[in-house]
Amino acid sequence: MNESPVVVAPNLKRRLSGVTATVVRLIPVQARMIAIRATGPGLPPEVPHLPLIRAATLPRDRWRVWHARRNTEMALGLILRRLLFRKYRLMFTSAAQRHHTGFTKWLIRQQEALVATSPQAASYLDRPATVVMHGVDTEVFHPAPDRAALRRELGLDPDAVLIGCFGRVREQKGVDLLVRAGLRLLPERPRAQIIFTGRVTAEHRGFADGLKAEIAAAGLQDRIRFLGELPWDQVVRHYQALDLFAAPARWEGFGLTPLEAMACGVPAIGSHAGAYEALIRDGETGSLVTTGDQDALTDALRHWLDDDAAREAAGKAARRHVETNFSIETEARALVAIYRELLDRAP
């Protein structure tokens, strides 16, 4: 894409996060619809992007949209517009389901368009917002043609009933709930295994080490494993290798992981956190369980582990559900419509 962008999407965080994952997957799709580029550190080469200094010095020949997703990005957009006199229309997407600080509220008031990723997130904003729920690229996230062969390539047991939980390893994500459910269920189910992927930050190292000690004490260290932070393409392949996905978060902004798993034909268990209630059809594409409820999570896992036919049928239903209701093209088109409205509004 050689033309000058009319939309710039900043990503001011080098480490992989939910927001970064959104930018990485969404911008290439939007680039087929409008002249858009991401900017910021650590973006993969397949994402249309431009250097941050270039974003700060684009000519003042036209209005453009600055689409922020973090406080730092909203603040930078204000600096570019008010101090450097760049012609940016300011837009912010909020996924947070919590009351915002005074500074965040002030930043939000400066935006010319607001998007929320769920009705719940919209309810925490003091101004009206357009709800645009996330979607997934069903050409990237799809069932594996040969799951057993894929598992062999990944060093996973091809005969296991494999449960996955992907994301940062911390209490907020309910990792401890899944580990302890596994400690209850796995001894009587020799095929069942659990894998976690995701980074353990220094502040959560003690939490992770404590769980590993519990697993080792039960002699299940070969069946409940932490694989660490994986490259994005490997994360996708690990989704495809699963039989069941679990997202027992205590708190979540949106929570894309169950959607990514379901796109791969994997039924998902989620708590009543984030947008999970809008993503998972209870009993059809997986299960919804009470947030923080160890027994409810254990019961849901038991149901899907013990009924191979139901699990397979739910996986197929999950794929159809995502294809019908949560394609990334739908999300991209909705955002592009807002960009165009902002650009048309400019004098």
The residue extents of the domains of the chain are 7-135+327-345, 147-325
Domains 7-135+327-345 and 147-325 share a fold: yes
7-135+327-345, which class in CATH?
A: alpha beta
- Main-chain phi, psi angles of 279, to 5 degrees: -95, -40
Nearest to 265 by CA among 235, 249, 247, 286: 286
Sequence-separated (6 or more) residues with CB below 8 Å from residue 292: 174, 177, 250, 271
For residues 232 and 166, give the distance between their C-alpha atoms in angstroms, rounded to a whole number. Answer: 11
Beta strands in the chain (DSSP E): 7-10, 36-39, 64-68, 88-94, 113-116, 130-131, 161-166, 192-197, 224-226, 244-247, 268-271, 286-289
For residues 67 and 77, give the distance between their C-alpha atoms in angstroms, rounded to a whole number. Answer: 8
Burial class (CB in 10 A: 0-12, 13-18, 19+), 309: exposed
CATH 3.90.550.10 correct for 147-325: no
pLDDT tens for each residue of the chain, 347 residues long: 456 899 999 999 876 677 888 888 899 999 999 999 999 987 888 899 999 999 999 999 899 999 999 999 999 999 999 999 999 999 999 988 888 899 999 999 999 999 999 888 899 998 999 999 999 999 999 999 999 999 999 999 999 999 999 999 999 999 999 999 999 999 999 999 999 999 999 999 999 999 999 999 999 999 999 999 998 889 999 999 999 999 999 988 788 899 999 999 999 999 998 889 989 999 999 999 999 999 999 999 999 999 999 999 999 999 999 999 999 999 999 999 999 999 998 66
Q: Which two tokens stand for residue 278?
A: 């809008």
